Amino acid sequence: MSYIKFQDVCKSFNDTTVLKNVSFSIEKKEICGFVGRNGSGKTVIFKLMSGLLIPDSGGIYIGGTNFTAKHRFMESLGVMIETPGFIPHYSGMKNLKILNSMSVSPVSEEEITEFMKRLGLEPKSKRSVRNYSLGMRQKLGIIQAVMNKPELLILDEPMNSLDTQSVSEIRKLFTELNEGGATIVLASHIAEDIDSLCRKKFLIDDCTVKEA
C-alpha cells in the first residue's frame, strides 16, 4: 500500500481550475520532488497533502487513512509552506520553544540548540525575528519543520534565500532525516536540489501531475 495517495483529486478556486483528476502515489521513506512553473499548483498540492485545504472531489490517503473524509492533521507532520510565520517580537529560540511545546513529540532545548547551531543561528541571541534576514527566517522555518523528527516532511521551496554553504548543510540534514525514516516531499526551483535529493520526481503541468 502506498504511503501517500492522491486519487482523482480536483481543486478549483472560483472559476479557476488548479488541479484536475490528479492521481499519484508516494512510498514510505521516499524523498520526492515536485517541479512546475510558478502558479502550476505545487503549493496547492502541498496544502492538500498537509490538510490545510480539502479537495473539491477525489480522495487523499496517508498511511491508509482517508484524510478527505476525516479532515484532520497527521500527528507526526512537519510543514514549511510559503513564508514561515513566527511571532515577530520574540527571538528565534523563543519561537521554536513555543512551537515545540505544542508538539505531540517535544524535544529537549538542547536538541533545538543543536539544530540552530548547525544551521548557523545563535540560540542565545535576543534578536527578534522581525530583525532576521530572509535567509535567517528560512533557516528558522526549516528548523520548526524538522525539529520534532516528523514521519512526514512537506517542504515548499526550502532553499529560498540561502547561501551555498547553508544549502549544502540542509541537503545533508534532509538526507539524514530520510535515512532515519522520514518521508520527504519537496518543491524547489533549483534543479540541483531535486536531482541530488529526490528518488522520484513529479511534473505539474496543465492542472495534472505525472511522474517525470
Distance (Å, rounded) from C-alpha 17 to C-alpha 195?
A: 29
Q: Residue 17: which residues within 8 A CB-CB, separation 6 or more? A: 10, 11, 207
Give me the mean pLDDT over the 53-67 stretch: 89
> Could you count the other beta carbons within 10 Å of the beta carbon of residue 75?
10
147 touches 100 (CB < 8 A): yes
Reported as a single tens digit per residue, the pLDDT across 153-212 is: 999 999 998 999 999 999 999 999 999 999 999 998 888 899 999 989 999 999 999 998
Distance (Å, rounded) from C-alpha 95 to C-alpha 212?
A: 38
Give me the mean pLDDT over the 48-56 stretch: 91
Cα 9 vs. chain centroid, distance in angstroms? 20
Asked if the model's pLDDT at residue 71 lies above 70, the reply is no
pLDDT at residue 72, rounded to an integer = 63
Q: Residue 23: which residues within 8 A CB-CB, separation 6 or more? A: 6, 7, 8, 9, 58, 209
| Helix, strand, coil share of the chain (percent; to 5) | 35, 30, 40
Q: Record the pTM.
A: 0.93
